[in-house]
Amino acid sequence: NSLHCKRCKEYKIQKKLNLKCVVSFSNGTSLICHRDARIVHVVFPVLYTIVFLIGLILNSLAAWAFFQIRSTSTFIVYLKNTLVSDSIMTLMLPLKILTDSGLGPWQLKALVCRVSAVIFYEAMYVSIVLLGLIAFDRFLKIARPYGKLWVQNVTSAKILAGIVWISFFSLSLPNMILSNKKATSLSVKKCASLKNHLGLKWHEAVNYICQFVFWAVLILMLIFYAVITKTVYLSYRKTQKKDSKSKRRTKGKVFIIVIVFFICFAPYHFSRVPYTLSQTHHRMDCSIQNQLFIAKEGTLWLASTNICMDPLIYIFLCRSFLEKAFCVKVKKFRISDNVVLIT
């Protein structure tokens, strides 16, 4: 038919551009939608390798330091759980690097689609929620400096962290189970090709849930930091004549959480929804699919840099971490008589 012929012409044009992926048609036939091999097999693997090496070093150092720190505060509990999620993301990167670079067999790509990529995304969203909880913890240091609310209890923090892990595991597990179509060297080029009909619907639904989670956390974080900003500003106005430049810089460090959160995760969530639609709906031009793929992969790489950025939070805001990791003595930083933001 005419639609099929039109698609055939698009395929011939794309083939000349030396690009690579699978496009399916509503009548059950499929063609290969090529992608730029230089970006897919060279640029992104190199970028991910850099992130992996830096993340491995920083998170190994963080693990060594936190292993010596007791969980005596909600802040430490959230930081330790963030370290776990970052470590999981770090360990999943080598599989992605091998498959994206073409160094691994296509069977490894099937494993990435069904298991390791799902685990990577689960850990990433756990990290997103934990950053929100860390921001909430800093907010409570101002709103309730004496720790009277139940959420300021260490046991409550552990329970909240556990709920976060269980919730995202429950969302992720069906994505593994429902990717049960037979894998071939062609079908693994597009992970959605391994999902059955219910798997595609679940994948799309989970994407919207994760989008909601991200934007909810971002909005709440901005509210928390509006209060923190006001408090820090009032403290600065009162003490600007007495404070040294180093103390003023220290006050600015409390904003590292929202900076890391926005830089790492906001771009990815702008590109994720249209990319998921291109994966779960067949009627989409090959050129648009390629553009969405590059946008998704580029912003996903930016999101993966979170494993390198989170240690900045440990360094700037966690006194115990600095003392254990770098063997230095650090004083508590107060913005008022009752409020301690760097603990």
Q: What are phi and psi of 240, to 5 degrees?
A: -60, -30
Please give the pLDDT value at position 254: 76
For residue 190, the SS3 value is coil
The answer to whether 132 and 265 are in contact (CB under 8 A) is no
pLDDT tens sequence for the chain (343 residues) = 444 444 444 444 344 334 444 444 333 444 456 666 677 788 899 999 999 999 999 999 999 999 999 988 999 999 999 999 999 999 999 999 999 888 889 899 999 999 999 999 999 999 999 999 999 998 888 777 776 788 889 999 999 999 999 999 999 999 999 988 888 888 888 888 899 999 999 998 998 899 999 999 999 999 999 988 888 777 767 766 555 555 555 566 778 899 999 999 999 998 887 887 776 665 667 778 788 888 888 999 999 999 999 999 998 888 888 888 776 666 555 544 444 455 5
Instruction: Tell me the pLDDT tens digit for each residue of 261-274.
Output: 999 999 999 888 78
Calpha distance 118→188 (Å, rounded): 15
Q: What are phi and psi of 283, to 5 degrees?
A: -85, 85
Calpha distance 333→341 (Å, rounded): 6
The answer to whether 34 and 17 are in contact (CB under 8 A) is yes
Amino acid in the structure at residue 280:
T
CATH T-level topology, domain 2-342: Rhopdopsin 7-helix transmembrane proteins (1.20.1070)
Calpha distance 96→103 (Å, rounded): 10
What is the gyration radius of the CA atoms in the chain, in angstroms?
Answer: 23
Amino acid in the structure at residue 205:
A
Query: Hey, which bits of the chain come out as E strands?
Result: 22-24, 30-32, 333-334, 340-342
Q: What is the DSSP letter of 39?
A: I
Show the tokens assigned to 4. 């099929």
The answer to whether 311 and 79 are in contact (CB under 8 A) is no
Dihedral angle at the C-alpha atoms of 109, 51, 83, 222, nearest 10 degrees?
Answer: -110
Q: What are phi and psi of 214, to 5 degrees?
A: -60, -50
Q: 246: exposed, middle or buried (C-beta count within 10 Å: 0-12, 13-18, 19+)?
A: exposed
Which is nearest to 25 in space by CA: 293, 283, 198? 283
Which is nearest to 92 in space by CA: 304, 236, 241, 258? 304
| CA-to-CA dists, residue 189 to 33, 120, 275, angstroms | 10, 18, 15
Calpha distance 110→29 (Å, rounded): 22
> Which pTM was predicted?
0.82
Calpha distance 272→293 (Å, rounded): 9
Which residues does residue 326 pair with via DSSP β-bridges, in sequence order? none
Show the tokens assigned to 235. 């403290």
CA 46 to chain centre: 19
Q: What are phi and psi of 333, to 5 degrees?
A: -105, 120
Calpha distance 302→290 (Å, rounded): 18
Calpha distance 168→176 (Å, rounded): 13
For residue 69, the SS3 value is coil
* Mean pLDDT for the chain overall: 82
> What residue ranges do the domains of the chain occupy?
2-342
